[in-house]
A and B are shown apart, each in its own frame.
Chain A
Amino acid sequence: MSTPQVSVLLPVRNDATHLPAAIASIQRQTLTDWELIVVDDGSTDGTTQWLQSAAEADRRLSIITQPALGLVPALNSGLKACNAPLVARMDSDDIAHPRRLFTQLNAFKEQPELTLCASAVRHFPRPHIQGGMLAYEKWQNRLIGHCDIQRNLFVESPFVHPSVMFKKQAVQTAGGYRKMPWAEDYDLWIRLAVSGSIFYRCPETLLYWRDRPERLTRTAENCTLDAFRACKVHFLSQSYLCNCQQVTLWGAGQEGKLWARALRDAGINVNRWIEVDPKKIGQRIHGAPVCEPDDLNTHPAKTLITVGARGARQQIRDWADQHRLIEGEHYLCVT
Chain B
Amino acid sequence: MREEYQPFEIGNTWRILPPDCRPPLDHRTNLIMDRGAFGSGEHETTRSCLKLLENLKIDQAQVLDLGSGTGILSIAALKQGAAHATCVDIEPSAVDACRRNCRRNNIADATVHHICGTLDKVSGSQFDLILANIYGDILIDVASNLCHAARPGSTLLLSGILWEYNFDVRNRYEQHGCTVLKNRLLDEFSSVLLQKTD
Question: Chain B residues with Cβ under 8 A from A210's Cβ?
Answer: 164
**Residue pair B137, A95 in contact (C-beta under 8 Å):** no
**Residue pair B137, A126 in contact (C-beta under 8 Å):** yes
Question: Chain B residues with Cβ under 8 A from A24's Cβ?
Answer: 167
**Residue pair A25, B167 in contact (C-beta under 8 Å):** yes
Q: How far is the CA of A124 from the CA of B166 in the complex (A)?
A: 12
Question: Chain A residues with Cβ under 8 A from B162's Cβ?
Answer: 124, 208
Closest to B183 in A: A28
- In the complex, whether A55 has a CB less than 8 A from a CB of chain B is no
Q: How far is the CA of A21 from the CA of B172 in the complex (A)?
A: 12
Known: A125-B137, A126-B137, A127-B137. A95 touches B163 (CB 8 A): yes
Closest to B185 in A: A98
**Residue pair A122, B167 in contact (C-beta under 8 Å):** no
Known: A126-B137, A127-B137. A95 touches B164 (CB 8 A): yes
Closest to A95 in B: B164
Known: A98-B185, A125-B137, A126-B137. A208 touches B167 (CB 8 A): no
- In the complex, whether B165 has a CB less than 8 A from a CB of chain A is yes
- In the complex, whether A20 has a CB less than 8 A from a CB of chain B is yes
- In the complex, whether A97 has a CB less than 8 A from a CB of chain B is yes
Closest to A126 in B: B137
- Which residues A16-40 have CB closer than 8 A to chain B? 20-21, 24-25, 28
Closest to B167 in A: A21
- In the complex, whether B111 has a CB less than 8 A from a CB of chain A is no
Q: How far is the CA of A24 from the CA of B167 in the complex (A)?
A: 8
Q: Is the interface of A mostly helix, strand, loop or mixed?
A: mixed
- In the complex, whether B168 has a CB less than 8 A from a CB of chain A is yes
Known: A125-B137, A127-B137. A20 touches B163 (CB 8 A): no
**Residue pair B185, A95 in contact (C-beta under 8 Å):** no
Q: How far is the CA of A305 from the CA of B174 in the complex (A)?
A: 53
Q: How far is the CA of A188 from the CA of B97 in the complex (A)?
A: 54
Question: Chain A residues with Cβ under 8 A from B137's Cβ?
Answer: 124-127
- In the complex, whether B175 has a CB less than 8 A from a CB of chain A is no
* Interface residues contributed by chain A, number (CB under 8 Å): 15
Question: Chain B residues with Cβ under 8 A from A126's Cβ?
Answer: 137
- Which residues A220-238 have CB closer than 8 A to chain B? none
Q: How far is the CA of A125 from the CA of B165 in the complex (A)?
A: 8
Q: How far is the CA of A98 from the CA of B165 in the complex (A)?
A: 13
Against A, the Cβ 8 Å flags (1 = close, 0 = not) of B82-112 are 0000000000000000000000000000000
**Residue pair B167, A20 in contact (C-beta under 8 Å):** yes
Question: Chain B residues with Cβ under 8 A from A125's Cβ?
Answer: 137, 165
Against B, the Cβ 8 Å flags (1 = close, 0 = not) of A106-135 are 000000000000000010111100000000
Closest to B137 in A: A125
Q: How far is the CA of A25 from the CA of B163 in the complex (A)?
A: 9
Q: How far is the CA of A95 from the CA of B136 in the complex (A)?
A: 14
Closest to B162 in A: A124
Q: How far is the CA of A95 from the CA of B163 in the complex (A)?
A: 8
**Residue pair B163, A97 in contact (C-beta under 8 Å):** yes
Q: How far is the CA of A4 from the CA of B165 in the complex (A)?
A: 29
How far in angstroms is the closest Cβ of chain B from A241?
41
Q: How far is the CA of A122 from the CA of B163 in the complex (A)?
A: 11
Question: Chain A residues with Cβ under 8 A from B165's Cβ?
Answer: 124-125
- Which residues A197-240 have CB closer than 8 A to chain B? 208, 210
| Among B164, B171, B185, residue most surrounded by chain A Cβ atoms (within 10 Å) | B164
How far in angstroms is the closest Cβ of chain B from A225?
28
Q: How far is the CA of A124 from the CA of B162 in the complex (A)?
A: 10
**Residue pair B185, A208 in contact (C-beta under 8 Å):** no
Which 7 A-B pairs give the minimum distances between C-beta atoms?
A208-B164, A21-B167, A124-B164, A95-B164, A125-B137, A24-B167, A97-B163
Can you pick out 17 interface pairs between chain A and chain B where the beta carbons lie within 8 Å of each other? A20-B167, A20-B171, A21-B167, A24-B167, A25-B167, A28-B185, A95-B164, A95-B167, A98-B163, A122-B164, A124-B162, A124-B164, A124-B165, A125-B137, A125-B165, A126-B137, A208-B163
Other than the known A98-B163, A208-B163, what 16 A-B pairs have Cβ atoms closer than 8 Å? Answer: A20-B171, A21-B171, A25-B167, A28-B185, A95-B163, A95-B164, A97-B163, A98-B185, A122-B164, A124-B162, A124-B164, A124-B165, A125-B137, A125-B165, A208-B164, A210-B164
